């Protein structure tokens, strides 16, 4: 697996791979991606396993393949969806530390504009002042980071980790032999992965929605890949 911290070298404006409720035709595609993409292609995430959740799936590392869609953000939209890294001035850092100390929170969240939209599977993000962009250790989180409850690389409260992986674009409808590209993907965070490995319901075919009776989901670990 190739892992790159958000905003790290080589990570700027990569496409992103989705495999759950952000897929074309699913509710969160309409909420978050409609009108914001420049390209959408079927793709496969190798060396990964797919697990069922209560209305959404989780992908983890493993010996398998996960089917989904590779999405290229429309010009000027990538930062809105996947965030930006910003240099935080010293005065802003002092303010962040002060507000964090007053709130008892280990991090400072600054929102601007309207809060991110939420669908039926999501709780509204906590609301220190209101808005849309989160400033966390100099990294401004995007709409999809909020959706996936990704607070920053390795954060203990992450539901997902955002990592860079090699994604395969099938050639001529075949499952192998196509182009391979680097893309962002949200994989289940470490604690979620441990729970899935011990008590989760795997989707053997690696496609979501799974073709099984309703309610046959895995452990309810929170809001999953959208």
pTM: 0.69
CB-hemisphere CA count at 13 Å for 125?
27
Q: What is the pLDDT of residues 65-83, one digit of tens each?
A: 999 999 999 999 999 999 8
List of the chain residues with pLDDT < 70: 1-12, 84-140, 172-177, 210-226
Q: Which fold has domain 16-199?
A: Hypothetical upf0131 protein ytfp (3.10.490)
- Give residue 216's pLDDT: 46
Measured CA to CA, the distance from residue 163 to residue 25 in angstroms comes to 24
Q: Give residue limits of the domains in the chain.
A: 16-199
Nearest to residue 218, comparing CAs of 210, 153, 79?
A: 210
User: Do the beta carbons of residue 174 and residue 205 sit within 8 Å?
Assistant: no
With H, G, I as helix, E, B as strand and everything else as coil, classify residue 102: helix
Number of C-beta neighbours around residue 142 at 10 A: 26
Measured CA to CA, the distance from residue 51 to residue 71 in angstroms comes to 22
User: Do the beta carbons of residue 162 and residue 137 sit within 8 Å?
Assistant: no
């Amino acid at each position: 697996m190739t892992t790159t911290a958000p905003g790290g070298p080589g990570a700027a404006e990569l496409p992103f791979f989705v495999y759950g409720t952000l897929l074309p035709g699913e509710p969160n595609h309409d909420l978050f991606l409609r009108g914001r993409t420049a390209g959408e292609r079927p793709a496969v995430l190798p060396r990964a396993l797919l697990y069922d959740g209560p209305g959404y799936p989780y992908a983890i590392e493993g010996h398998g393949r996960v089917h989904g869609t590779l999405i290229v953000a429309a010009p000027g939209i990538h930062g809105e969806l996947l965030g930006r890294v910003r240099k935080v001035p010293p005065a802003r850092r002092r303010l962040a530390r002060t507000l964090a100390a007053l709130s008892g929170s280990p991090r400072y969240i600054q929102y601007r504009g309207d809060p991110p939209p939420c669908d039926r599977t999501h709780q509204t993000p906590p609301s220190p002042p209101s808005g849309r962009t989160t400033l966390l250790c100099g990294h401004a989180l995007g709409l999809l980071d909020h959706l996936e409850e990704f607070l920053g690389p390795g954060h203990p409260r992450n539901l997902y980790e955002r990592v860079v992986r090699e994604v395969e674009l099938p050639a001529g409808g075949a499952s192998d032999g196509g182009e391979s590209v680097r893309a962002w993907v949200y994989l289940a965070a470490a604690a979620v992965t441990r729970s899935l490995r011990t008590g989760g319901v795997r989707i053997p075919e690696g496609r979501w929605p799974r073709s099984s009776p309703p309610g046959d989901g895995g452990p309810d670990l929170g809001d999953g890949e959208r």
